[in-house]
Amino acid sequence: MGQSPSLAVQPQATSDLFAQHVMATYGRYPLVLERGRGSWVWDRDGKQYLDCVAGIATCTLGHAHPVMVAAVTRQMETLHHVSNLYYIRPQGELAEWLTQHSCADKVFFCNSGAEANEGAIKLARKYAHTVLHIEEPVILTAHSSFHGRTLATITATGQPKYRQGFEPLVSGFDYIPFNDIEGTRAVLDRYADRACAVLIEPLQGEGGVVPGDRAYFQWLRQECSHRNLLLVLDEVQVGVGRSGKWWGYEQLDIEPDVFTLAKGLAGGFPIGALLCKESCNVFQPGDHASTFGGNPLACAVGLAVVGTVESDRLLDNARERGQQLRQGLQAIAEQFPALIEGIRGWGLINGLVVKVAAGDVVQQAIAAGLLLVPAGKHVVRFLPPLNISAAEIDLALERLQVALKALCVAAE
């Protein structure tokens, strides 16, 4: 399908710079974004876009939020980084907030979701050796999952395309069918003497915005408890209010033993977190570490973000705007039955299942002034900031209609 004229022109100087100096690990859209405010970003030519990507579920408060600007400025002028060999007051305060607002008792801070999941994998393996006395433990993850880009986390990721070319993979992983009780039971039985944990997303983001089934997760919680396995939830994409609740596990009426966070925790400032209950807190000094993890600057921003989500009642907004978005998408689906198959999601993480290439929808949306992101070949994700307004949701729906009409014209 041909590109619209606004997308056909490459920002030449920037693309040349990247071609010469930056590894080509991303399929980038021909767009140079230079500034942002709230739910909006501007390219270098001054064109304005409504940002329903938010750094892929990362910019919790949108762009240039004054609370974040103040937190960064204040902490940078005071103390931005020291080693974890010393006590860091903002780290303790953010850990306190997280444990007071979740089922966790302890927190380890790092820099990203992949690192948080690496920490969870290490914790599960040490638990297996020291508590379960398993010599060669196996961690079970779900087909179509995504857990990161390190060697261990691409092995944990249940999508072969992310693993190709990086063999040999890390041993000690196998896969279960997501939302399938009998299929999962069969795999659990197969590893009855070696399984130590199940690592799973409450909602599969990269796997197509597929929410967890409540009955399945409640059964899985019972099975893990019965078999003495750790239930580890990857909340990197759905945590910190994106689902309309603080944590995705609340949507499923369960509590995990361990869960991981990153993305939205500091609104775009790099941070990750591994959280666990005291019953599986087996790490000792020297077992795990992170140079930048939990430094004063990252934790000060994290505190500012979660405090603002709380004070501005953004969980309510995520639920209300999410419902508004899904209702609007359903109405659009009825207008374009040849293009749209369905809608699914929670809060402000939603997927539009399309019958054409998701990338084509994204490109036409860019031309219409709307930023979206694919989740696989046939799902388009909506991940706006949690403080997006009702008027902005209406505008996003209008611009999506423009994009879909353009697709129909191009197909004629």
Low-confidence winner among 12-16, 62-66, 147-151 (lowest mean pLDDT): 12-16
Q: What is the pLDDT of residues 339-350, one digit of tens each?
A: 999 999 999 999
Low-confidence winner among 8-17, 115-124, 222-231 (lowest mean pLDDT): 8-17
Average of per-residue pLDDT across 104-111: 98
pLDDT band at 9 (very low <50, low <70, confident <90, very high): very low
Residues of the chain with CATH 3.40.640.10: 66-311
pLDDT band at 6 (very low <50, low <70, confident <90, very high): very low
Q: What contacts 203, CB < 8 A, 6 or more positions away?
A: 209, 210, 211, 212, 237, 238, 243, 248, 251, 345, 346, 349
Dihedral sign for Cα 284, 86, 292, 204, please. Answer: positive
Cα dist from 394 to 36, 127, 283, 370, whole Å: 20, 49, 48, 12
pLDDT band at 16 (very low <50, low <70, confident <90, very high): confident
**In the structure encoding, which two tokens stand for residue 215, read together?**
């009955």
Tell me phi and psi for residue 211, to 5 degrees.
-65, 145
**Residue percentage of the chain with pLDDT more than 70:** 97
Average of per-residue pLDDT across 106-119: 98
HEC string of the chain equals CCCCHHHHCCCHHHHHHHHHHCCCCCCCCCCCEEEEEECEEEECCCCEEEECCHHHHCCCCCECCHHHHHHHHHHHCCCCCCCCCCCCHHHHHHHHHHHHCCCCCEEEEECCHHHHHHHHHHHHHHHHHHHHCCCCCEEEEEECCCCCCCHHHHHHCECHHHCCCCCCCCCCEEEECCCCHHHHHHHHHHCCCCEEEEEECCEECCCCCEECCHHHHHHHHHHHHHHCCEEEEECCCCCCCCCCCCCHHHHCCCCCCEEEECHHHHECECCEEEEECHHHCCCCCCCCCCCCCCCHHHHHHHHHHHHHHHHCCHHHHHHHHHHHHHHHHHHHHHHCCCCEEEEEEECCEEEEEECCCHHHHHHHHHHCCEECEECCCCEEEECCCCCCCHHHHHHHHHHHHHHHHHHHHHHC
Q: What is the pLDDT of residue 387?
A: 98
Chain position carrying tokens 């130590």: 196
Q: What is the pLDDT of residue 400?
A: 98
| Whether pLDDT at 250 is above 80 | yes
Average of per-residue pLDDT across 368-385: 98
Residue type, 383: L
Pair 71, 302: CB distance under 8 Å: no
Average of per-residue pLDDT across 251-280: 98
pLDDT band at 85 (very low <50, low <70, confident <90, very high): very high
More confident residue, 283 or 15: 283
Terminal-to-terminal C-alpha distance of the chain: 11
Most distant CA pair in the chain: distance in Å?
Answer: 65
Q: Which CATH class is domain 66-311?
A: alpha beta
pLDDT band at 11 (very low <50, low <70, confident <90, very high): low
pLDDT band at 2 (very low <50, low <70, confident <90, very high): very low
pLDDT band at 366 (very low <50, low <70, confident <90, very high): very high
Which of 251, 295, 245, 249 lies closest to 269 in space, CA to CA?
A: 295
Average pLDDT, the chain: 96
Distance between CA 285 and CA 82 in Å, rounded?
A: 18
**In the structure encoding, which two tokens stand for residue 372, read together?**
């979206």
| Whether pLDDT at 271 is above 90 | yes
Pair 51, 59: CB distance under 8 Å: yes
pLDDT band at 109 (very low <50, low <70, confident <90, very high): very high
| Whether pLDDT at 388 is above 50 | yes
Fold of the CATH domain 5-64+313-411: Aspartate Aminotransferase, domain 1 (3.90.1150)
Q: What is the pLDDT of residues 118-176, one digit of tens each?
A: 999 999 999 999 999 999 999 999 999 999 999 999 999 999 999 999 999 999 999 99
Pair 261, 239: CB distance under 8 Å: yes
Q: What is the pLDDT of residue 7?
A: 45
Residues of the chain with CATH 3.90.1150.10: 5-64+313-411
Q: What angle do CA 320, 217, 358 make, to 5 degrees?
A: 55
Q: What is the pLDDT of residues 307-361, one digit of tens each?
A: 999 999 999 999 999 999 999 999 999 999 999 999 999 999 999 999 999 999 9
pLDDT band at 1 (very low <50, low <70, confident <90, very high): very low
| Whether pLDDT at 249 is above 60 | yes
